[in-house]
Amino acid sequence: MEAKVKVFLLSLVNILYNKLPETLDKINRKKHNLRMSMIGNIKQLEQKCLAKGLKMTAQRRVICKVLAQSHDHPHVDALYERVQKIDNKISIATIYRTLRLFEEAGILMSHDFGMGRAHYEISPDNTHHDHMIDVETGEVIEFTNKDIEQLQEKICEQAGYQLIGHRLELYVCKKK
């Protein structure tokens, strides 16, 4: 009986051991894909800057990297903190200047979100989304809703206008 259990355990270990490289490979591939898509985003952002005639300095590259990795609509202080972790010689003035430049070039969008300060995100390419702001945590949730989009167009049309753009912010708190 004991021997049987031993054999069973050994074969179990064997199976797990044989599966291990496969599992590790899967994890590594996933990590790799994530990293590649991140690099893709950074490269894309740099390309956009170059296309707008902006010179890519080392400092701007760092700021691009942080922007491409930030999906939480950060404000300038949060961006400054993230940039500092990569290069602590980049001043907040440089960040302000770069953000303004990127915004003027249409690469970056800023939102007030009713919090009295600018929150940034990379301008989406040919896509659109709206925002929900959790007023208790400051968390920004992105959403899209076809009905709302169509309704807005209808309202404008009925008033004799063509809708050329909009921003929609919903202020929310978690249901208690």
> Residues 136-165 vs Zn ion: string with x where CB under 5 A?
------x-----------------------
Nearer to Zn ion among residue 130 and residue 153 (C-beta): 130
Nearer to Zn ion among residue 16 and residue 151 (C-beta): 151
SS3 131: strand
Q: Does 130 bind Zn ion (CB under 5 A)?
A: yes
Q: Does 72 bind Zn ion (CB under 5 A)?
A: no
Chain positions 109 to 128 lying near Zn ion, rule: CB under 5 A, are 121
Least CB distance to Zn ion at residue 119 (A): 9
CA distance 20 to 25: 8
Nearer to Zn ion among residue 25 and residue 72 (C-beta): 72
Which whole-number Å values give the CA distances from 117 to 38, 67, 101, 111, 155, in the listed order? 27, 17, 17, 8, 30
Cβ neighbours of residue 108 closer than 8 Å, sequence gap 6 or more: 67, 99, 102, 120, 121, 122, 123
Residues that bind Zn ion (CB under 5 A): 121, 130, 142, 168
